[in-house]
Amino acid sequence: MRVGTVREIKNHEYRVGLTPESARELVTHGHEVWVESGAGQGIGASDADYTRQGAKIVATAREIFEGCEMVVKVKEPQASERAMLREGQILYTYLHLAPDPEQTADLVKSGVTAIAYETVTGPGGQLPLLKPMSQVAGRMSIQAGATALEKAHGGRGVLLGGVPGVMPGKVAVIGGGVVGFNAAQMAVGLGADVTILDRSPDVLERLGIYFEARAKTRFASTANLAESVADADLVIGAVLIPGAAAPKLVTRDMLGTMKLGAVLVDVAIDQGGCFETSHATTHAEPTFVVDGIVHYCVANMPGAVARTSTYALNNVTLPHALAIANLGWKAALQADPYLAEGLNVHAGKVTFEAVATELGYDYVPVSDVLG
């Protein structure tokens, strides 16, 4: 199969669908890989890095869309890209169609076979193609919080690990899922005094077994939460209620109980945020202060570490890309029910129920398409 990847054109998107190493993997399996010139620039991969791995560099995205059977991307296709999609082509990328009627209409009209990273599942119902971005954001949250705690950034001037003879900083992580676990790992690694709060007994048990005495676990009752937040130098908001807006667990009143210059990092900001005083910020201006408390609320944290994020994403997307290239999309989806859940649009039909319901399309189950 001829597989292509383009330079991402969404504002401030530096990741790329295929790394040079992923291109090599496809080439090794007998496929042809076309890469738009400059596609890897944001992760420090030059055109020469791709050609060394057996890919062919082409000058424009148009050549990729015209010449490739499958296009592998990161972000949903922008309007100018959607205009180049064609019937029978496979598009494999993040799509997030439910809140995006224009994109959905264009994909339906184009006749493309669109497989969305975010709806591919795994055993146990997880979303393995979203997980690496939560891992990145969780780990970054401690880095971002530690920087914000410095005086020059408005923080209270606390070093999370302390030094011999001086107590370490206190970190409260609210939500012990993928983001929270990775945040706690980083904070523990720095030598901070870490408490993880969650409402799920199973999650608390798993965290307790993993961290043993290196981190405390605490049930996230209203009272416990208020106490841990008041006591913390750094609070990480990492809760998720699937399909719902994040609950506002830290109210404006609670800020008054916190230490002046303490820091809130709201990773859940992409779901509306779990602190009442949060609003989404960008990497250009990541923080703001409310009542003396520094807020960091960047909605696309992984974008700042595009290289790490791209490699983490490719680790989970490449096996499916290979299966699709090796078997063809239909046989690949027939062989893998988890990958089949990724099919959102095929030949003018919406094949993902939530998208069809949300946007008023007839829903055609994937099983009907696969026969």
Ligand X SMILES: NC(=O)c1ccc[n+]([C@@H]2O[C@H](COP(=O)([O-])OP(=O)(O)OC[C@H]3O[C@@H](n4cnc5c(N)ncnc54)[C@H](O)[C@@H]3O)[C@@H](O)[C@H]2O)c1
Angstrom distance (rounded) from CA 5 to CA 55: 10
| Residue count, binding to ligand X (CB under 6 A) | 32
Single out the residue of 231, 238, 237, 226 nearest to residue 192, CA to CA.
231
Choose, by CB under 6 A, the member of 175, 261, 286, 342 that binds ligand X: 175
169: three-class secondary structure by DSSP: coil
The packing angle between helices 178-190 and 201-211, to 10°, is 30
| Residue closest to ligand X (Cβ) | 177
Contact 133, 222 (CB under 8 A): no
* Segment interacting with ligand X, rule: CB under 6 A, options 35-43, 45-53, 169-177, 284-292: 169-177
Q: Are 73 and 13 in contact (CB under 8 A)?
A: no
Q: Smallest gap, in angstroms, from Cβ of residue 199 to ligand X?
A: 4
- Among 86, 96, 98, 35, smallest CA distance to 61 is for 35
Active site residue 202: no
Q: Could you tell me whether strands 343-346 and 113-116 are parallel, antiparallel, or unpaired per DSSP bridges?
A: antiparallel
- Measured from the CB atom, the residue of 43 and 133 that comes closer to ligand X is 133
Q: Is 267 in the site for ligand X (CB under 6 A)?
A: yes
By the rule CB under 6 A, 148 interacts with ligand X:
no
Q: Which residues sit opposite 5 in a β-bridge?
A: 35
Cα–Cα distance between 324 and 318 in angstroms, integer?
10
If the CB atoms of residues 221 and 367 are measured against ligand X, the closer one turns out to be: 221
96 a catalytic residue: yes
From 41-49, 191-199, 311-319, 353-361, give the range in contact with ligand X by CB under 6 A.
Answer: 191-199
Helices (runs of H) and strands (runs of E) counted in the chain: 15, 15
Site for ligand X in 275-314 (CB under 6 A): 299-302
Contacting range for ligand X; rule: CB under 6 A; set: 17-25, 83-91, 264-272, 352-360:
264-272
Which CB, 267 or 343, lies closer to ligand X?
267
Q: In the stretch 193-222, what mask flags binding to ligand X with x, by CB under 6 A?
A: ----xxxx--x----------------x--
Q: What are 321's two structure tokens?
A: 């890309």
Per CB under 6 A, the segment of 82-90, 159-167, 239-247, 358-366 that binds ligand X is 239-247
Residue 27 DSSP label: H
CA distances from 116 to 121, 336, 341, 355 (A): 11, 15, 9, 12
* Residue from 47, 96, 231, 336 carrying the catalytic annotation: 96
178 versus 322: smaller Cβ distance to ligand X: 178
Question: Which positions are annotated as active-site residues?
Answer: 96, 270
Given the rule CB under 6 A, which residues bind ligand X? 133-134, 137, 174-180, 197-200, 203, 220, 238-241, 246-247, 249, 267-271, 299-302
